[in-house]
Amino acid sequence: MTSLDSTTRTADLTDDVRDAVLDVARRSKVAARSLATATRATKDAALQALADALVAASDEIVAANAKDLERGRANGTSEGLLDRLALTPERIGAIADALRELAALPDPVGEVVRGSTLPNGLRLRQVRVPMGVVGMIYEARPNVTVDAAGLALKSGNAVILRGGSAAASSNEVIVEVLGRALEAQGLPRDLVQSIDAYGRPGGVALMHARGLVDVLVPRGGASLIQTVVQESTVPVIETGVGNCHVYVDESADVETALNIVMNSKTHRVGVCNAAENLLVHAGAAPDFLPAALDALDAAGVVLHGDTATQGYAPEGVEVIPATDEDWGTEYLALEIAVRVVDDLDGAIDHIRTWSSGHTEAIVTRDLTSSERFVAEIDTAAIMVNASTRFTDGQQFGLGAEIGISTQKLHARGPMGLGELTTTKWIVTGDGHVRP
Amino acid sequence: MTSLDSTTRTADLTDDVRDAVLDVARRSKVAARSLATATRATKDAALQALADALVAASDEIVAANAKDLERGRANGTSEGLLDRLALTPERIGAIADALRELAALPDPVGEVVRGSTLPNGLRLRQVRVPMGVVGMIYEARPNVTVDAAGLALKSGNAVILRGGSAAASSNEVIVEVLGRALEAQGLPRDLVQSIDAYGRPGGVALMHARGLVDVLVPRGGASLIQTVVQESTVPVIETGVGNCHVYVDESADVETALNIVMNSKTHRVGVCNAAENLLVHAGAAPDFLPAALDALDAAGVVLHGDTATQGYAPEGVEVIPATDEDWGTEYLALEIAVRVVDDLDGAIDHIRTWSSGHTEAIVTRDLTSSERFVAEIDTAAIMVNASTRFTDGQQFGLGAEIGISTQKLHARGPMGLGELTTTKWIVTGDGHVRP
């Protein structure tokens, strides 16, 4: 409901909506220029001011959020989604704290990535600079509105937000509060703009604002992300779909494997770095699988398995026969697909066929297995004897994250502030010409 | 004629062509796996073998090239294009030498980009790995066929080539020669495949092979690049269009400015890093412009200028009134558009309006002007007191280049071997789980 589906095509765009969104993008581009040369002190002060403003406006925001919740309830939205949507003064405080944490992070802008003096005396520097205008298309979580604005501000970018209609009232007030706070800091309001007023066609217009919008980051479910990837002519960073596997090797320590499997699957469901599949070496299965199936079942995890796995199910534990659909599904729920593989090659083949390139884990005590798994699996992150849940910007020490990229271009894995920048080559001579 | 124009749409694709190209891409993906874990020694030996094979097959290649040239002449192709298309034993020798130079460059694969041990003891490494499958869509220069194959091989990638139909016979033989040489080295032929046999629809199918092709690099004219950017769902790196400016500041040394302008414009025309526009500070114009217009005219450069510029034209030097079209045109010829600006702000405004984000140069002796130009102009490369012609992978010391990116995502400016790689996070623990 909140996602742009594939029935929203370019043809639906009216000229009015297109013009309005292009105008937003143009103002965004102009605003971005003033921020590109701002000092870190200016940006950090603004982040603190935004945090203060959100806290001060808590009542206003909670009141707007109540309208979204009411509408959601009337539409029959699930309790889980309503919970994600809900804002309280405490939650607003936490969102504001995240902005303050951003202020404490180093500024990526200005970092000299490479530099040298060439044989002819030219001085060469490759310096990190802001992207310019970042577009965010996301679903019903109003905290993303603030996170995205904060990350963009810290990295020197303007941001254009297209949030889910389910959070429209909350987002409208939040963007207004942020805009007033920016203005009070002497920064342009246009640094943070929303195009929610233009609905889905506005989102489509944003995807086509090539030349004005430098990068689009979709955050949400698989269908939202696929629509943006297919439709957009603006460069996109694909995020988030995680059909993650844990492979338990023949040599794995049973208790270690059990801990990692349980943590990867049940620590938090509904997140992209949760495990959705368990692969077990045939040699490890007799010792490991009965205990694992029992523990998963006891934790309320619905089990799907191949024939071999079914054979290891303890009395009273149901294992539903797994289909190809199971291997390909990101459950985002207490549900897992389990398969017994002949050997490491079998695990690698299975993962190559079904992986979404997010996180793949191996539990092993064998060096060769570990090295081969690391070398032969092509994914954003590989875990050796660790839970898939560690693929996360905060866990990696990158600070706040704008998403987890599952593509190979520009950014792969957790994206922090640095991934919202590009570079510029600066070449200084003394009248140098090519001979 | 050799470019994919916008009339070639998805709808033209027959299922047969699509299936054939997807099959090529699948085989490419499988072949890429064998190369991803190959040592540098293996790859360098293969590059030497490819170079030897090309030289050994010179007669065969020249004969095939003669057919392309004959067809080109019959079609009325210009002498300039025929020259770009032509292969001689000497040119084949130079192309082979470029492969040998690639063998001498460091291997980007395996480089540890970042790494640390986290507070919880997890060992984190971000390691450079090949992209996987690189697609190249290009026009009538058969040397690109070899360059692209060599760059892909060295960076551990498989490559799918879609060359211009004008070079079809040459490319067919070259790909065959490279394939035989790869096989003789124990590497899969499928590492270098051509889809020229499927014509334009094959190129379109390639643009839609998302999930199989990891990145597409179009090389050629603006219309080819725009078609690929608009049509492709595979991530694209936009290359090459260079509407480059030289700005002569009030404080510029006249002789330095003259040298840089002449070198930027006339050192080599028809390349993306040649200057297409000259902006002159009003205060510098009286001393600089008459001499500059005279020198450009004497070098055979067609001059377009605004009214002020026309006023500085020496006797006998014709300055055609410049239009907005001139400011926006990449001439790729002995032709330039000249404008007098009030001050640095005027120059920055003009460049912001018309730049293609490739290379912008300032000639100045004033530190503030230089710093402001560097900070406020958003482009892949900025030259301070140096010719625009220096924006080049070889000149920057990056070795061979696959193109010059004018986009901000992933790569900006000259792209060397490193830009054909992505990264993988490798996280090693001892049974770590999220608390």
Q: What is the pLDDT of residues B247-265, one digit of tens each?
A: 999 999 999 999 999 999 9
* Selection from B425, B102, B404 nearest residue A415 by Cα: B425
Residues of chain B where predicted confidence (pLDDT) is lower than 50: 1-11
Give the other-Cβ count within 10 Å of B79's Cβ.
8
What is the identity of the amino acid at B398? L
Spatial distance between the Cα atoms of A271 and A298, rounded to a whole number of angstroms: 21
Q: Closest partner residue to A408 among B131, B426, B433, by Cβ?
A: B131
How close is the nearest chain B Cα to the Cα of A24, in Å?
Answer: 17
Spatial distance between the Cα atoms of B154 and A395, rounded to a whole number of angstroms: 34
Paired tokens of B373? 């130009």
B433 in A contact zone (CB under 8 Å):
yes
pTM over 0.95: no
A385 in B contact zone (CB under 8 Å):
yes
> Which residues of B, range 219-258, sit inside 8 Å of A by Cβ?
229-230, 233, 235-237, 253, 256
ipTM summary value: 0.91
B385: which chain A residues are within 8 Å (Cβ-Cβ)?
428-432
Report the sign of the C-alpha dihedral through residues B342, B347, B352, B353, in that order. positive
How close is the nearest chain B Cα to the Cα of A170, in Å?
Answer: 31
Spatial distance between the Cα atoms of A64 and A54, rounded to a whole number of angstroms: 13
Q: How many residues does chain B have?
A: 435
State the DSSP H helix or E strand holding residue B192, giving kind and residue range, or none if neither.
strand B192-194
CATH match of B10-236 with 2.30.42.10: no
Computed on alpha carbons and rounded to an integer, the radius of gyration of chain B in Å comes to 24
3-state secondary structure of B247: strand
* B348 to A334, B329, B374, B376: CA distances (angstroms): 57, 18, 10, 7
B213: which chain A residues are within 8 Å (Cβ-Cβ)?
none
B36: which chain A residues are within 8 Å (Cβ-Cβ)?
375-376, 378
Which part of chain A is CATH 3.40.605.10?
10-238+415-425
Q: How far is CA B227 from the centre of its chain?
A: 16
Alpha helical stretches, state H, B185-221: 199-207
Residue to mutate among B402, B408, B415, with most A CBs inside 10 A, is B408
Which residue is listed with tokens 């006023």? Answer: B311
Residue A385 and residue B229: Cβ atoms within 8 Å?
no
Residue A426 and residue B382: Cβ atoms within 8 Å?
yes
Spatial distance between the Cα atoms of A201 and A50, rounded to a whole number of angstroms: 30
For position A164, what pLDDT does the model report? 87
Which part of chain B is CATH 3.40.605.10?
10-236
Beta strands in B352-420 (DSSP E): 359-363, 381-386, 403-405, 413-415
Spatial distance between the Cα atoms of B256 and B260, rounded to a whole number of angstroms: 6
B256: which chain A residues are within 8 Å (Cβ-Cβ)?
431
Spatial distance between the Cα atoms of B414 and B27, rounded to a whole number of angstroms: 30
B381: which chain A residues are within 8 Å (Cβ-Cβ)?
424-427
Paired tokens of A309? 């796995």
Give the residue on A whose Cα is nearest the Cα of B258. A431
CB A427 within 8 A of CB B381: yes
Q: Closest partner residue to B434 among A267, A380, A422, by Cβ?
A: A267
For position B241, what pLDDT does the model report? 85
CB B270 within 8 A of CB B332: yes
Give the other-Cβ count within 10 Å of B428's Cβ.
18
Spatial distance between the Cα atoms of B362 and B375, rounded to a whole number of angstroms: 12
Fold of A10-238+415-425: Aldehyde Dehydrogenase; Chain A, domain 1 (3.40.605)
CB B163 within 8 A of CB B217: no
Backbone angles phi, psi at A385, to 5 degrees: 55, 45
Q: Closest partner residue to B397 among A118, A233, A397, by Cβ?
A: A118
Residue B413 and residue A428: Cβ atoms within 8 Å?
no
Which residue is listed with tokens 């017994």? Answer: A340
How close is the nearest chain B Cα to the Cα of A424, in Å?
Answer: 5
B229: which chain A residues are within 8 Å (Cβ-Cβ)?
210, 233
Which residue is listed with tokens 């599949």? Answer: A277
Fold of A244-395: Aldehyde Dehydrogenase; Chain A, domain 2 (3.40.309)
Which part of chain A is CATH 3.40.309.10?
244-395
CB A354 within 8 A of CB A322: no
Paired tokens of B120? 């919880």
For position A12, what pLDDT does the model report? 54
Spatial distance between the Cα atoms of B231 and B223, rounded to a whole number of angstroms: 12
For position B64, what pLDDT does the model report? 97
Residues of chain A where predicted confidence (pLDDT) is lower than 50: 1-11
* Selection from A271, A264, A216 nearest residue A242 by Cα: A271
Residue A118 and residue B210: Cβ atoms within 8 Å?
no
| A158 CB-side CA count, 13 A | 28
